[in-house]
Amino acid sequence: MKTSSKRFGFDLDNTIVDYSASVERYCLDNSLKMCKTIVELRELLQEADDSGHLWQIAQGWLYTDGLTYAKLAEGATELCEYLRVNNFELFIVSHKTTHTPIFCGYKPLRGVATNWISSGGLSNYFPTTENIYYEASRELKINRIKSLHLDYFIDDLVQIFQDHNYPQEIVSFLISPTPSHLPWVHNVTSFVSVPEILANEE
């Protein structure tokens, strides 16, 4: 049964986590053309290697060692504080496998992400792992979003909201420079504008 409190869910990678500094470090360390975003880096590496192995190696580094350089997305702390003051429950629901592929070193992914959350600016909002969920597929991620009875969810991937299993009754935010064109999704370029939208939803 749905709880009476308001529940706000966050995606993690490229939503709460800003990997731009990690991407720049990877480009420098590997003598690549400088990229500013994960999307740019993925496109660069996929052009050079259509097997996807180069991109998977880079992605594995970004989500493990590269987290050292990652930062909180603009406005993330302020949004979490707004939500806490207004009695929201906060959740993270991330599509993240347990390890990188074997050819990428089979490095654990989930523990390092949790450590990043608990040791950084989100520690006050996620003091334990109780409200942090990692799912091995998009399908399982959407099932978790549904089972948690979230009222709000924010993600950087439009594919989540386009999935036929995603519940459209959730107030949803796509954080991306490219709008979704889904009439029921709020398109934002950062967390900064979310509190105002939430205030207008009341």
Is 4's pLDDT higher than 80?
Answer: no
What are 123-146's pLDDT values in tens digits?
A: 999 988 999 999 999 999 999 999
Asked whether the whole model's pTM tops 0.85, one would answer: yes
Which whole number is the average pLDDT over 48-73?
A: 96
User: Which domains does the chain possess?
Assistant: 6-18+72-201 (3.40.50.1000), 20-68 (no CATH)
Per-residue confidence (pLDDT) for residue 12, from 0 to 100: 98
Residue closest to 21 by CA, chosen among 71, 57, 58, 61 = 71
Per-residue confidence (pLDDT) for residue 107, from 0 to 100: 96
- pLDDT cut 90: percent of the chain above it: 93
Determine how many CB atoms are found less than 10 A away from the CB of residue 186.
19
- pLDDT cut 70: percent of the chain above it: 98
Q: What distance in Å separates the CA atoms of residue 133 and residue 97, rounded to the nearest whole number?
A: 11
Per-residue confidence (pLDDT) for residue 1, from 0 to 100: 39
What are 157-179's pLDDT values in tens digits?
A: 999 999 999 999 999 999 999 99
Per-residue confidence (pLDDT) for residue 120, from 0 to 100: 83
